[in-house]
Amino acid sequence: MTTPQPVSPWYQRVWLRVMNWQPQEHNLWWRCAAAVLLTLAAVWLRMALAPAESGGRFITLSLAAALAALYGGFAAGMISTLLGMLLVNFFMIEPYGSLAFEKPLEALWLNFWHASTQLVVVGAIAAMQRQNRHLRTATDLIRQGKQQLEDTFEQGAAGMAHSELDGRWIRVNQTYCDIVGYTKEDMLKMHFRDFTHPEDLELDMRQLKRTLDGEITHYSFEKRYIHRLGHVVWVHLTISLVRAANGQPSYLIAVVQDISDRKKTEQALRTSEHLLRQAHGIAGLASWRADLSTLRFVTLAGSHRLLGLPLAEFSVDDMIALTHPDDYPWVLKQWSLALQGKAEYRLEYRMLFGGEEHWFLVQAEFERDANGRAVSALGVIQDVTPRKRAEMEIQQLNTSLEQRIQRRTEALKAAYDELESYSYAVAHDLRSPLRIINGFAQALHEDNPGMSGESLSHLQRITAASKKMGELIDGLLKLSQFARGELQRTSVNLSAIATRHLEDHARAEPERQVTWTIEPGLHAMADAALVEALLQNLLHNAWKYSALTPHAHIRVYSEHRNGQQWFFVSDNGAGFDMARAAKLFQPFQRLHMPHEFSGLGIGLATSLRIVQRHGGELQADAAPGQGATFRFTLSARPLG
């Protein structure tokens, strides 16, 4: 609430207005006109009050000149004086226009003294006004300076306070109060010890004692305050001692700056540096900076010690001396390209120090000026010597392993070719005696048409056995055939192949009631002839083993699992026991008795060979009386 100011009496206000009147602030013509009017008014008043012949004519005009000087300044006062003298001498006594004095000497004397007196009076008034003007200007300057000091104190960005020598506050500004969270009223009742952090109080008091003892004139340090809400506020405090004219300590000036944000930044920076050092240690990295104007390379945060580098700072000559001679031309070329912004600077090369060869991975980014010219570089360097040595060892092992694998492969190929040749030769050589046995058995039957009984049974068993042996030989040759040759991958329509084979089976056995479902658009990149044989075997088995099922159904479809396309051939026929599935894909092994379903046991073995040659997998899932499902892939690579 603002306290009302007392109202001054009117005469004091008038007097202050007269004392503060400044003629120069008004127009000169107005001031001269006022001087003329005041003079004429004074002459009229003098003539109205008493005859001019009674004397004292100059007294009235002196008052007019004084008033004119007060209003209009020196020039106006002198105009009033001269005009009054003219009127007194020639226009106040008849006859008007003639000299009013009978004695010229008397007139000269009176005019001289009047002019001199008026000059002194008007000059004094003018001097007083000038002095008052100077005084007012000085007063305004003092008031302005005082206000500026007050504004500086009260509205400054830093906290400011004056205190007694014992620490009691004389005055504090609002910024200081905001820093510690107290109002001015609360602050003036407190001591700085009340909100100083206990750990910082001793240092503060010790420095204050040194100042009061005259050892120092001021001191500054960083300290902590306890905010009214309880949290810590970091400040930079400066204390100065003001002494009286006799040299005795008078009072203290405190200037406080809130540096909490800076402290948080410093703490965050220290934390970042600590984490960076830990990261350097864990990753085996060193950070560096290059000043391209001086061509100096400096490692940061002492990280050169982590890599065992001999120096923390390197010149270009040092870098050349450390770089392996075989790698130096390439490193120089990459550095030049990176400086021009034409390539990324990321490379591995060798350095020589400590009598050893070390491999380093180096990466850098460049800071450029407005013209695009590189002025500095920031980068990291990592010792990759263990990895490079391991890679070289692996490369040597791979070279040795490749040679060994090649020798083994050649040996296996030779053995395989020999085995294939042997199988073919054996199968071919067995055909001739089988043809002889079968021919003689048929001739014996034709020569003895009346043969019956046990002899006919033996002859029939010989014929059936020779036929079975021929079929086994054909299966062996077929299995050998599918294991040889080079794959010719093309786009194969599995849906069309499956449809064709099932239609062939339906035409061959029209009496059977079999339905099938084939997913349209099944395609794969595979060898067309081998896929034809694969689907023929799987669909033949599905047709055969569903012969005893009243409502047989065969299904061909695909699914995507783990990025691979799987093809399925499923039926609801006889199925089999998965406990015996280990013999499923072995040549000439069967899971059903010959009297149940015919066959040699070569179809699934052939199918497995075909799938494996494509790099895929063949799997089965079945249950007795619930049908069987065979699924296969034709590539080991995931899709996409």
Per-residue pLDDT tens digits for 520-553: 999 999 888 888 888 988 998 888 888 888 889 9
State which amino acid sits at residue 58. F
- pLDDT at position 637 is 61
pLDDT of the residue at 483:
52
Tens of pLDDT, residue by residue over 179-205, are: 999 998 998 888 888 899 999 999 988
Q: What percent of the chain has pLDDT over 90?
A: 15
* pLDDT tens digits for range 396-449: 888 888 788 888 877 766 666 665 666 666 666 666 676 777 777 777 777 777
pLDDT tier, 1 (very low <50, low <70, confident <90, very high otherwise): very low
Q: What is the pLDDT of residue 398?
A: 82
Which residues contact residue 476 at a Cβ distance below 8 angstroms, ignoring those fewer than 6 apart?
Answer: 423, 427, 587, 602
pLDDT for residue 466 is more than 80: no
345, 335 contact by CB (below 8 A)? yes
Residue-wise pLDDT for 472-529, tens only, equals 565 556 555 555 556 788 999 999 999 999 998 888 888 888 899 999 999 999 888 8
DSSP 3-state assignment of 239? strand
Contact between residue 452 and residue 438 where contact means Cβ atoms under 8 Å apart: no
Q: DSSP state, 512?
A: S
- Cβ proximity of 344 and 338 under 8 Å: yes
Confidence at residue 595, expressed as pLDDT on a 0 to 100 scale: 41
Sole residue written with tokens 């200007």: 137
User: Closest Cα to residue 222, out of 192, 258, 252, 194?
Assistant: 258
At 8, the pLDDT band (50, 70, 90 cuts) reads: low
Q: Reply yes or no: is the peptide bond before residue 310 cis, omega within 30 of 0.
A: no
